């Protein structure tokens, strides 16, 4: 496959995945985040990188967000949201943290590729990204030219960017206010 062919195939695959995401579910997830007292975000591996990028943008929007694992993450409780990504939906760390958040009274917003997974059944709200993950990257289940969970992770990045646009509108955030919240420590 040529370089141009690889790009076209990868972009086509991402487009198919994104077109299959239910926009009404995206809107509901955005409302859930916009109404949260506090938001704690978490993901494992490369999903964590996407989640951290989204948390950064939520902060730029003026939302009360932290990333689980950071020493400044506050405790969650009623009225708060635990935003978590688990493509396969069976990650033990994710399941344990979901339990902690629920026991504290927080709502769990899960982004996953597996609607029948343990995490999806345990979440208060699941947003489905129908893409190949590490759990479905071999044999007949393989659907992408991209390795392992890259299709899910790429779609996760784009989904989060769309959610930022929707949240910007929902919270009446301005580009100027977002830029003013960007760090000057770099």
Question: Which domains, from first to last, does the chain contain?
Answer: 36-140+149-176 (3.40.50.10490)
pLDDT classification of 7: cutoffs 50, 70, 90: confident
Closest CA to 149 of 13, 47, 15: 47
User: Could you write out the three-class secondary structure of 18-36?
Assistant: HHCCCHHHHHHHHHHHHCC
| Contact criterion met (CB below 8 Å) for 134 and 149 | yes
**pTM of the prediction?**
0.91
From the centroid of its chain, how far is CA 4? Answer: 29
Count other C-beta atoms under 10 Å from residue 25's C-beta: 13
Structure tokens that stand for 171 in this block: 């919270």
* pLDDT number for residue 133: 60
Closest CA to 14 of 107, 150, 163: 150
pLDDT of 150 > 80? The answer is no
Mutual angle of helices 3-19 and 150-171, in 10-degree steps: 50
Q: For 29-82, write each residue's pLDDT tens digit.
A: 999 999 999 999 999 988 899 999 999 999 999 999 999 999 999 999 999 999
pLDDT classification of 10: cutoffs 50, 70, 90: confident
Is residue 74 packed enough to be buried (19+ CB in 10 Å), middle (13-18) or exposed (0-12)? exposed
Tell me whether strands 125-128 and 39-43 are parallel, antiparallel or unpaired.
unpaired
Average pLDDT over residues 4-29: 87
pLDDT classification of 9: cutoffs 50, 70, 90: confident
Q: For 126-141, write each residue's pLDDT tens digit.
A: 999 987 565 655 556 5
Catalytic residues: 153
Closest CA to 170 of 19, 3, 36: 36
DSSP state of 85: E
* pLDDT number for residue 152: 81
Mutual angle of helices 150-171 and 45-60, in 10-degree steps: 10
Integer-rounded Cα radius of gyration of the chain:
17
DSSP state of 181: T
């Amino acid at each position: 496959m040529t370089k141009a062919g690889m790009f076209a195939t990868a972009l086509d695959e991402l487009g198919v995945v994104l077109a299959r995401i239910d926009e009404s579910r995206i809107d509901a997830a955005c409302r859930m985040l916009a109404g949260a007292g506090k938001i704690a975000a978490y993901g494992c591996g490369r999903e964590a990188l996407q989640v951290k990028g989204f948390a950064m943008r939520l902060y730029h929007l003026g939302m009360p967000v932290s990333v689980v694992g950071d020493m400044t993450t506050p405790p969650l409780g009623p009225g708060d949201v635990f935003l978590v990504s688990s493509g396969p939906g069976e990650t033990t760390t994710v399941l344990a943290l979901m339990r902690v958040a629920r026991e504290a009274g927080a709502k769990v917003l899960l982004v996953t590729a597996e609607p029948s997974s343990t995490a999806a059944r345990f979440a208060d709200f699941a947003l489905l990204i129908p893409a190949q993950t590490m759990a479905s990257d071999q044999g007949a289940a393989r659907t992408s030219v991209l390795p392992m969970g890259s299709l899910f992770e790429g779609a996760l990045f784009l989904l989060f960017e769309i959610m930022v646009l929707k949240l910007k509108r929902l919270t009446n955030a301005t580009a100027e206010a977002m830029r003013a919240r960007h760090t000057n420590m770099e």
